[in-house]
Amino acid sequence: MKRAGILTLSDKGAAGEREDLSGRIIREMLTESGLHIAVYEIIPDEKELIENTLTTWCDDLALDLVVTTGGTGLSPRDVTPEATLSIIHKRLPGMEEVMRTESLKKTPHAMISRAVVGARNATLIINLPGSPSGVRECLGSVIPALNHALDKLSGDMSECAPGAQDTKRPH
């Protein structure tokens, strides 16, 4: 069973002043998708703390997936994308694009989301917005490809396309 971590970025949540509804929704959606939630934490919007937590969860805990919620907007304390970009090795813009496209169907504010998706070694990291509705829309839009992406990151060498064959052309 693949192992996931949920990291909520919220100054108020970390101080116990706000209930983490988005983290609860992520837990439900990932569990329904067959993932085991190995770790869950709420931390303040501090870039270095976010970087350190993501790195530890990827390198030391060797999680298959880390999903963050919060800190993807334009406020001065929104630093989740910067923290994620500083520690990933590969970026997955297709997942980012699909999340924004799905959210744009609901609100024009989706165009200011700076959510990042990328991989650090064999761990996929997905940044989600902080709102419960944004979490449902964005995570729901990438779940259809999630297990395939996690399999590929873990070293699955099978073909991606059904019925794909070696199509080497003669020289």
Residue 125 has pLDDT above 50, yes or no: yes
Confidence (pLDDT) at 166: 46
Whether 7 and 130 have beta carbons less than 8 Å apart is answered as no
* pLDDT score of 159: 67
Q: Sign of torsion, CA 21 26 29 35?
A: negative
Rounded to two decimals, the pTM is 0.92
- Cα-based distances in Å from 54 to 38, 48, 160, 166: 14, 10, 28, 37
**What is the rounded average pLDDT of the residues 91-113?**
96
Angle, CA of 56, 59 and 64, to the nearest 5° = 100
Mean pLDDT of 104-121: 96
**Cα separations in angstroms, 162 against 154, 156, 157:** 19, 14, 13
Check residue 95 and give its pLDDT.
Answer: 98
Q: Name all domains of the chain by residue range, CATH numbers in brackets.
A: 3-153 (3.40.980.10)
Output 159-162 pairs: Cβ under 8 A, ≥24 positions apart. none
Burial annotation 98-114 (CB, 10 A radius, 16+ → b, else e) = bbbebbeeeeeebeebb
C-alpha pair distances (Å), 38 with each of 1, 5, 107, 168 = 11, 6, 33, 43
Give the span between the Cα atoms of 137 and 128, in whole angstroms.
Answer: 9
The DSSP H or E segment spanning 91 is: strand 90-91
What pLDDT, on a 0 to 100 scale, did the predictor assign at position 162?
59
